[in-house]
Amino acid sequence: MKFFVDTAEIDAIAELNELGMVDGVTTNPSLILKSGRNILEVTKEICDLVEGPVSAEVVSLKADEMITEGRKLAEIAPNVTVKVPLTWDGLKACKVLSGEGKMVNVTLCFSANQALIAAKAGATFISPFIGRLDDVNLDGMELIADIREIYDNYGFETQILAASIRTVNHVSDAAKIGADVMTAPPAVIRKLAEHPLTDKGLAAFVADWEKTGQTIL
């Protein structure tokens, strides 16, 4: 499973990248707002840091304008992935931009049919939003499973990018189903390493080691 980081915070991306945890980055208008940065400048900085796909989202609602914005975003660096919403206009933009050889991430996907139609429009990535479905008492993981089954039935190459990940269980569940990629905030990625029995076991080892009176160095 590829790990994307869902943030526009450069320091957090750099820290995880040094550990080899960053196969790509996703941003959206809300994350750009949170960062307080200019979208063009911060996207360039992220692309200089990370080799993999870096999603930058268009903000227009009309296909023609999305295409113009997408072309401008794609000029920033070869690893920019243009993110478009899963609307009819977004699909038109996806078709044109992917036809030009640009990577396209179709976002705000909440149904298997939306994922099917995005694949037909040439999406490189489809982003089903797990957490936001869970928020309204629907099963985000069931959507990931449905998309996996449909894409495998027909050999679609569009990659399933599990998005709106809120918990560590979302990560392992999406991995078990076979999502190609997951994107999560830095805090969730850090939590993947945590376990209370690890902490308890380590505390006991440290205490026993002190009693030996030994040193290694």
Residues that bind ligand E4P (CB under 6 A): 6, 26, 28, 107, 127, 129, 131-132, 163-164, 183
Residue where the block lists tokens 């660096």: 77
- Report in angstroms how near the CB of residue 185 gets to ligand E4P at its nearest: 7
- Report in angstroms how near the CB of residue 151 gets to ligand E4P at its nearest: 18
How many Å apart are CA 161 and CA 125, to the nearest integer? Answer: 6
- Report in angstroms how near the CB of residue 99 gets to ligand E4P at its nearest: 23
- Report in angstroms how near the CB of residue 107 gets to ligand E4P at its nearest: 6
Of all helices (H) and strands (E), which one includes residue 56? strand 54-57
Residue in 14, 48, 12, 50 with CA at minimum distance from that of residue 31: 12
What is the torsional sign of CA 37, 39, 44, 48? positive
Which of the following is catalytic: 62, 83, 120, 200? Answer: 83
Q: Give the tokens for residue 125.
A: 């990535």
How many Å apart are CA 17 and CA 102, to the nearest integer? Answer: 24
Q: Tell me, what amino acid is at 217?
A: L
Pick between residue 169 and residue 198 the one whose CB is nearest to ligand E4P: 169
Q: How many residues does the structure list for the chain?
A: 217
Q: Which residue is nearest to ligand E4P (CB)?
A: 164
Pick between residue 26 and residue 98 the one whose CB is nearest to ligand E4P: 26
Q: Tell me, what amino acid is at 178?
A: G
Pick between residue 84 and residue 91 the one whose CB is nearest to ligand E4P: 84
Q: Give catalytic status of residue 83 as yes or no.
A: yes
Pick between residue 54 and residue 67 the one whose CB is nearest to ligand E4P: 54
Active-site positions? 83
